[in-house]
């Protein structure tokens, strides 16, 4: 299960990329990355501190005027050239994704193509962003609402899916004309640094994109910096509160895509096999470490027992193993600390009696003992008021409960502080629409989930954040309108008053 020497040779230069230069001596210390399947170190990663963040902001500010001045077709073509390079290096990038966060190759192999899809879509907006002509009164005027970039944007991405996150966020930020500082999580820096190299190879002016791995100290220096014009953070609500407090110093606007406790509502007329597969996938995909995973399973009582039998069968037959093995469906969780935390949650939930643990929930031993493997867990008959049902676990745990009426299903689904995603399984189109309208979630999927389209707005409600990425809403997230008012003055011609645009 160990990573081979050829795989380790794929790891990029781990020094931060600021402008077109690598930084060797950093103020933020080092992070020893470990392969989660074995617990063995791969590489020590230098982390940025305040000094490097200062340099990154200056590099981004210096590049801003040049980037904005480039004709739109040139900026578009640079993004498309980046897409070509990502596609050409897809296998390497997928392997890096597997090494850094242990997402199984079965899924990792698709992630570079997802990043390309997001970037390609947003490249199409570069030459279409402009603004609007708006009516004025009572005075006659020409009023232009112009779309302008914020300037320097700090993008803080999570460790669970760096490649798609980079595509979702770099795409609109660059298309809108911003320069960017990417702070990847110290747990998973490799794909971001490799993408940074490909950005340089694509011909982007130095400083348009800077990649600065950092821990909390460096992240705080970045979000407090007065030279940062916009922050976008993807991660936990607890970290978001710290970012908001730091951003308050300069009143820096912040976009947030935070966690979730997404409900999967299954009605009695649903295709139960399709619903069961999605329910099991909530614990299996990314080892449950996904903000949109449907970790609260809410099932109509008339089909509850039948669905539970199918879900348990699917979970029991999940192929857990080496993430580099193409047959593996589920790998380990990200770290020893995460493993201990998740096992503690499972143990407390089991002991408290808030639900019945009917399958999984144990640390795997034997050949898996040195890694951070947890068997996917299903709790049945869970109290929706319990910590198990209310708190995001970010691990392979599903909490199931039953309902009798449509109204009760909606009430259970909405009874959470989160509002990122929800899922509805029913063959009644009227019910599907009616229920989805009542669900307090930014995204509702009906009868399946095939990913997040680049053209669709994605984001949360309540404590799942605010702002949207994807589609026109994603472009708007990284632009702000400037209003330009041109007066029309009166002039006298042959004794008569005529209007002219001054």
Catalytic amino acids? Answer: 257, 291
Q: Tell me which long-range contacts 309-312 makes (C-beta under 8 A, separation of at least 24).
A: 310/272, 310/273, 310/276, 311/276, 311/279, 311/280, 311/378, 311/398, 311/400, 312/358, 312/359, 312/378
Q: 28 with 218: CB under 8 angstroms? A: yes
**Peptide bond before residue 356 is cis, with ω within 30 degrees of 0:** no
Q: Which of 379-408 are b and which e, b meaning 16 or more Cβ less than 10 Å from the residue's Cβ?
A: bbebbbebebbbebbbbbbbbbbbbeebee
Give the CA distances from residue 469 to residues 101, 294, 442, in Å, rounded to whole numbers and listed in that order.
Answer: 23, 20, 11
The DSSP H or E segment spanning 134 is strand 131-134
Q: CB neighbours (10 Å) of residue 348?
A: 13
Q: What DSSP letter does each residue of 393-440 carry, written as one string? A: --SSEEEEEEESSHHHHHHHHH-SSEESEEEEE-S-HHHHHHHHHH--
Tokens of 445: 């999927």
Q: Tell how strand 465-466 and strand 461-462 pair up.
A: unpaired
CA dist 84 and 93 (Å) reads: 13
């Amino acid at each position: 299960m160990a990573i081979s020497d050829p795989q380790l040779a794929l790891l990029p230069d781990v020094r931060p990329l600021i402008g077109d230069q690598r930084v060797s001596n950093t103020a933020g210390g080092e992070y020893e990355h470990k392969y989660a399947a074995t617990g063995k170190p791969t590489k020590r990663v230098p982390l940025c501190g305040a000094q490097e963040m200062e340099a990154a902001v200056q590099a981004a500010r210096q590049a801003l005027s040049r980037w904005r001045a480039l004709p739109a077709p040139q900026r578009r073509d640079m993004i498309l050239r980046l897409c070509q390079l990502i596609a050409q290096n897809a296998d390497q990038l997928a392997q890096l994704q597997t090494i850094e966060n242990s997402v199984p190759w079965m899924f990792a192999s698709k992630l570079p193509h997802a990043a390309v899809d997001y970037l390609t879509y947003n490249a199409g907006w570069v030459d279409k962003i402009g603004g609007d002509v708006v009516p004025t009164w009572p005075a006659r005027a020409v009023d232009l609402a112009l779309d302008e970039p914020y300037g320097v944007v700090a993008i803080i991405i999570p460790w669970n899916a760096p490649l798609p996150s980079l595509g979702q966020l770099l795409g609109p930020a660059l298309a809108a004309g911003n320069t960017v500082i990417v702070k990847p999580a110290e747990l998973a820096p490799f794909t971001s640094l490799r993408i940074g190299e490909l950005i340089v190879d694509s011909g982007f002016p130095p400083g348009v994109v800077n990649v600065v791995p950092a821990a909390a100290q460096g992240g705080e220096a970045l979000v407090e910096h007065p030279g940062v014009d916009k922050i976008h953070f993807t991660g936990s609500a607890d970290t978001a509160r710290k970012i908001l407090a730091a951003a308050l110093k300069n009143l820096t606007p912040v976009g947030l895509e935070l966690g979730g406790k997404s409900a999967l509502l299954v009605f009695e007329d649903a295709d139960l096999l399709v619903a069961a597969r999605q329910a099991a996938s909530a614990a299996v995909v990314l080892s449950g470490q996904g903000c949109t995973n449907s970790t609260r399973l809410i099932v109509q009582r008339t089909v509850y027992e039948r669905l539970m039998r199918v879900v348990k069968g699917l979970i029991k037959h999940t192929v857990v193993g080496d993430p580099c093995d193409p047959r593996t469906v589920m790998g380990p969780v990200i770290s020893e600390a995460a493993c201990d935390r998740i096992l503690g949650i499972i143990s407390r939930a089991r002991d408290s009696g808030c639900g019945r643990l009917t399958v999984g929930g144990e640390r795997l031993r034997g050949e898996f003992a040195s890694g951070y493997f947890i068997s996917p867990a299903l709790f049945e008959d869970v109290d929706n008021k319990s910590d198990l049902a209310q708190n995001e676990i970010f691990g392979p745990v599903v909490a199931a409960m039953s309902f009798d009426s449509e109204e009760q299903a909606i009430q259970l689904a909405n009874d959470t502080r989160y509002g990122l995603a929800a899922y509805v399984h029913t063959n009644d189109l009227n019910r599907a629409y009616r229920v989805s309208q009542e669900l307090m979630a930014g995204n509702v999927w009906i009868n399946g989930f095939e990913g997040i389209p680049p053209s669709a707005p994605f984001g949360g409600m309540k404590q799942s954040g605010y702002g949207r990425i994807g589609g026109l809403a994603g472009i708007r997230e990284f632009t702000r309108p400037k209003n330009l008012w041109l007066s029309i003055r009166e002039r006298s011609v042959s004794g008569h008053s005529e209007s002219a645009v001054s």
